[in-house]
Each structure stands twice: as C-alpha cells, then as structure tokens.
Amino acid sequence: MDNYTPLNCDLYDYLEIACMHGYRLKVEMIDGTTFEGRPVTTRTAPSKEEFLQFADGLDEVRMDQMLAITPLDDGASFGRVELGNSFCAT
C-alpha cells in the first residue's frame, strides 16, 4: 500500500467522538466502496499508520483510505464529514 498520510488533526476528533458515543457510521472509502459499522477505537501501528477499528465482526480500516463518514444514529452530534484530501502537514 502507498505511504501513509496522516488525517487532519481536527477531523480525527470526529472519529474519536464516533467511538466514544458508539455511533454507527456509513464509511465511504476512496476506492468507491462503502460499508456500515460501529467504530470502537483507533490504533496507531509502529509504522505510524493510523487505523479505525470496528465492532460487529468488521476489521479495521486505514484512516487515509476513508473518504467520508456519516453517523446513522438519530441525534448524532455531527453530520457527514469528508476526510479524503484533508491531511495533516508533516
């Protein structure tokens, strides 16, 4: 896979909020695929790649491969958030 590009730090907060509140998300990937899942935590690999880990028997996804997230729960504190092309400067 390509070199990892860190997610914009402000957008990272939305992923942590989704984990903290147990929101079910629609996740749009940059390759055009979509899926729904409930994120439970984030993980940083020794190589500094960051992943969002899911419950419901789903695996984890590398954060820089996500295009957008949309919470599916009523009353969520945010709407659709575009993540793709929004990366921290290194």
Read off the CATH number of the domain in which 50 is found: 2.30.30.100
Answer yes or no: is 25 within a domain: yes
Q: Say how many residues make up the chain.
A: 90
Answer yes or no: is 79 within a domain: no
- Find the mean pLDDT for residues 7-25: 92
Residue 70: how many other CB atoms lie within 10 Å: 18
How many folded domains does the chain comprise? 1
pLDDT band at 68 (very low <50, low <70, confident <90, very high): very high
Residue pLDDT, tens place only, 28-47: 999 999 999 999 999 999 99
Answer yes or no: is 14 within a domain: yes
Position 90 scores a pLDDT of: 43
Phi-psi region of 3 (alpha: psi -120 to 50; beta: other; left: phi over 0): beta
Answer yes or no: is 84 within a domain: no
Domain span at 14: 9-73
> What is the rounded average pLDDT for all residues in the chain?
89
Answer yes or no: is 88 within a domain: no
Decide if 39 contacts 19 (C-beta within 8 A).
yes
pLDDT above 50 (res 89): no
* Single pTM value for the model: 0.87
Answer yes or no: is 68 within a domain: yes
CA distance 36 to 69: 9
Q: Identify how many contiguous H helices and E strands the chain contains and give both numbers.
A: 1, 7
